[in-house]
Chains A and B, each alone.
Chain A
Amino acid sequence: MKDALSKFIENAGWPRIIIGLFLLFLFAAAPFVGVRVDTSLSDTLVRVGMNGILVLAMVPMVQSGCGLNFGLPLGIIAGLLGATTSIEFKAQGLAGFGFAMLIAVPIAAVLGFIYAQILNRVKGEEMMIATYVGFSSVALMCMAWLLLPFKSPVMIWGYGGSGLRTTISTEGFWRHVLSDFASVRIGEFFYLPTGMFIFFAIMIFLVWAFFRTKTGTAITAVGSNPEFARASGINVDRMRTVSVMLSTVLGAIGILVYQQSFGFIQLYMGPLFMAFPAVAAILLGGASVNKATMVNVVVGTFLFQGILTMTPSVVNSLIQTDMSEVIRIIVSNGMILYALTRKTQVKR
C-alpha cells in the first residue's frame, strides 16, 4: 500500500498532486462560501470544451521531439483568418463553421509547413524560437488586420471604414453552433455543451488513431530517439514537419471551437499569450517536454480550467480579495518551469 502510494506520487509528481488536491479543496469549499457546485462544474466543463483542442495541439510536436508548441499563435492566426473570412461571406450556422474550418485548415497547413522548415534547422532550441516566431507572426498580423480588404460592416471600424475591430462577435453567424448541438440543461444552473464535447472527443480519437498509424509511430520514434529513428530509415525532418503541421492545424481548429463557444473573435494582440495556458494545461496533465498522451490532455485541461474557474469565485469569497490572477500566473508558469527543469541533464 505504502509502496503503491509512493509510486503514484513519483509518477504523478508533486506539483500535479498539490494542484489536484487544491482543486478538490476548492470544489469542497464552494458550498460553504455560497458558490454553487453545479454552476462551477458546468463553467469548468464549458471551459474544458473551449480549450481542449488548443491543448491537444501540443501533442504532435511534443511527440516528435519538437518540444512544447509555444508557436501556437501561428495556428490561431490561421483560425482567425478562417473565422473572419467566413463572416465576410456571411456564412451561418454549422455550415458557416465548416466553411471557416475549410479556409483555416489549408492556411494552417501552409504556415505549419514553413514553421516546420524553421524548426528543423534549429533542433534543440525549438521552444524559445517557437515563442518568438509566434510573437512576431501575431505582430505581423496586427498590421495585416489593419490593411486586409475586409468589407463586412460587422467587422470593420465604424468611423474609419477600414481595418478590423479588436473583437468581433460571432453572434448571428456561428455562435454556439457546436456547443448547443444536443446540449443538456439540468435545472437552472447546469449546462453541458454536448456537441462541443463530441467534437473534442472526435478530435482526440483522430489524433489517437493517427499515432497508431505507420506515420504516427514513426513520429513517436523520432521524438524518443532521433538517431535510432534515422538509423531505422525514418526521414526525421519529414516526420517533424508532419507533426508541426498537425499541431498548427489543430491550433486553427482549436481557436474556432473556442470562438464559437466564447462568442467573440479576438484579433490583434489577442492571440499573443494564448500558447501559455495550453502549454501549462498539458504539463499539468502529466505530459513532459518530450512525451504526451491523450489522458494528459483531458486531465490537464480539466485541472487547469478547474483552477481558473474556481479560484476567482471560491478564493475571493474566502479571503475577500481577488487573487485569482496571481494564482493563475504562479500555477501556469510554475508548471512550465517544473517541466523544463525536471530532467537533470548530464553535463555536456
Chain B
Amino acid sequence: MSRTNDVAAKPLFSKMENFKHFLISNSVPIIFLGLSAFAIPLSGFSAEYLVQEMITRLARNSFLVLSLLVPILAGMGLNFGMVLGAMAGQIGLIFVTDWAVVGIPGLILASIISMPIAAFLGYICGNVLNRAKGREMVTSYILGFFINGIYQFVVLYMMGWILPITSPTLVLSRGYGIRNAINLTGMRHALDNAISLSIDLGSETTRFAISIPVSTFLLIAGFCVFIVWFRRTKLGQDMRAIGQDMAAADSAGIAVERTRVIAIVISTVLAAFGQIIFLQNIGTMNTYNSHDQTGMFSIAALLIGGATVSKASIGNVFVGVALFHLMFVVSPMAGKELIGQAQLGEYFRVFVSYGIIAVALVLHAWKRQQERERSRRGLRGEA
C-alpha cells in the first residue's frame, strides 16, 4: 500500500505545471492506481499474496505485451493480430507434448517449431494489412477470428489425421483432433524454475515469503534490450519514419509496405514466444480458448499502462501489466465484499478491459481528427 502512494506522490517535488502535465499524460494509470487503492483493502487479500501474484503475472504476461510495441512504432496501431502468434505458439506446444520433450529443451523446441508458422502467419497478416491501410486495427482484429477458424480446422480435423500426432493423451478418442485441454506437465514452470529465487522477508510474527522466477525475468529483460537496440537500427528508424508519415517515408525511399510486413512478422513471432512463456507458467493449455483473450488482455494491459495507439514505451508495459492484473485479482473479491456478489466484480473487470480499449481508441481518433481539422483550417487562411 505505502509503495503505491510513493509513486503518486513523487512528482509533487517538481513544479506545479510539471505536476499537471504528469497527471494529464498519465491519467489512465493514475485512475487505475486509485481504483486499486480503493479495492485492495476491500478485497482483504494479504500483501504477501498480492506481491507474489503480481510477480507471477508480470513474468507470465510481460513478454506477450512487449510483442505489441514494434507495430505501434511502425504506426500500425495495436496489433490485434498478435493472436496469430499465440496460435502458432500453441501448435508448437502441441507437437512438443506429443514428442514428449520436456523441460527447457521442450520449450526451445516448441519455439523453433512455432517460429516459421508465426513468421508465415505474420507475413500473411502484414500483406493483408497493407491492403487495408488506415483501418489496420479492425482488419487485424477480424483476421484474428478468421485465422482462428483455420486454426480450429487444422487442430480439430487435420491433427492425428494428416499431421502426425499419436499420443492418446492428446488425440480425441475418435482418432483425430486434439483434446480440449492439454496438460503441459513436463514443461510446467520449466522456465520459471530454471533460476528462481525465494525470498523470506517475514519476521517471526508475519510470514512474507515470495519466489521470483529470475530466468523468466532475464528473458524479458533481454527482450527489452532488444527493443531498445532495435529502435536504433536502420530498420527501427525506418519504422518510426513510417509511423510518423507514410507518404513522406515513401518519398524518402523507404520501402513502406515491406517494412510494415516486417514489423508485423516480428510482432507475431514474439507473440508466439510470449504465448509459450505464458502457457508454461499456467501449466495447462485450453486448445481452443487459450489464445482467445490473449490479444484483448495484452492490449488492455498496455493501454492501462498509459500507452496510446501511436505511442508506447517499455515502462507502459510493466506498469500496465501490474495495474491490470492487480485489478484482475482484486476486483471479484472487492465486488463480493461490496455488493455480496463475486460475479459483479467479474463483470467489472470484463467491462474495464473492453472499456479501456474503447476509451483509448476514441481519444486517439478524436485527437487525430482535431489535428486534421486544424491543418485544414490553416490551409483556408484568413477569410
Contacts and interface: CB of A to CB of B under 8 A. Distances in A.
B134 interface: yes
B137 A345 contact: no
A323 B157 contact: yes
B362 A121 contact: yes
Nearest to A138: B354
Contacts of B150: 330
Contacts of A143: 344, 347-348, 351
B128 interface: yes
A337 B357 CA distance: 21
Interface residues of B, number: 45
A139 B348 CA distance: 7
A136 B361 contact: no
Contacts of B353: 139
Contacts of B247: 347-348
A138 B347 CA distance: 10
Interface string A270-307: 00000010000000000000000000000000000000
B146 A139 contact: no
Interface of A is mostly: helix
A337 B365 contact: no
B246 interface: yes
Contacts of B131: 341, 344
A330 to B, nearest CB: 4
A146 B343 contact: yes
A348 B369 contact: no
B137 to A, nearest CB: 5
Nearest to A163: B341
B358 A326 contact: no
Contacts of A92: none
Given A347-B246, A347-B256, A139 B355 contact: yes
Contact of A340 (B135, B341, B365): B135
A329 B145 CA distance: 7
B132 interface: yes
Contacts of B141: 128, 131
Contact of A136 (B137, B250, B355): B355
B148 interface: yes
Given A321-B157, A348-B133, A337 B369 contact: no
Given A139-B350, A329-B148, A125 B365 contact: yes
Interface of B: 128, 131-135, 137-139, 141-143, 145-146, 148-150, 152-153, 156-157, 246-247, 250, 256, 339, 341, 343-344, 347-348, 350-351, 353-355, 357-358, 361-362, 364-366, 368-369
Given A129-B358, A131-B138, A132-B357, 5 more contacts: A125-B137, A132-B358, A135-B358, A330-B146, A333-B142
B138 A127 contact: yes
Interface of A: 70, 118, 121-125, 127-129, 131-133, 135-136, 138-140, 142-143, 146-147, 163, 276, 321, 323, 325-326, 329-330, 333-334, 336-337, 340-341, 344-345, 347-348
A204 to B, nearest CB: 27
A251 B365 CA distance: 25
A206 B69 CA distance: 48
A326 B139 contact: no
Given A121-B365, A129-B361, A341 B139 contact: yes
A280 to B, nearest CB: 10
Nearest to B150: A330
Contacts of A128: 135, 137-138, 141, 361
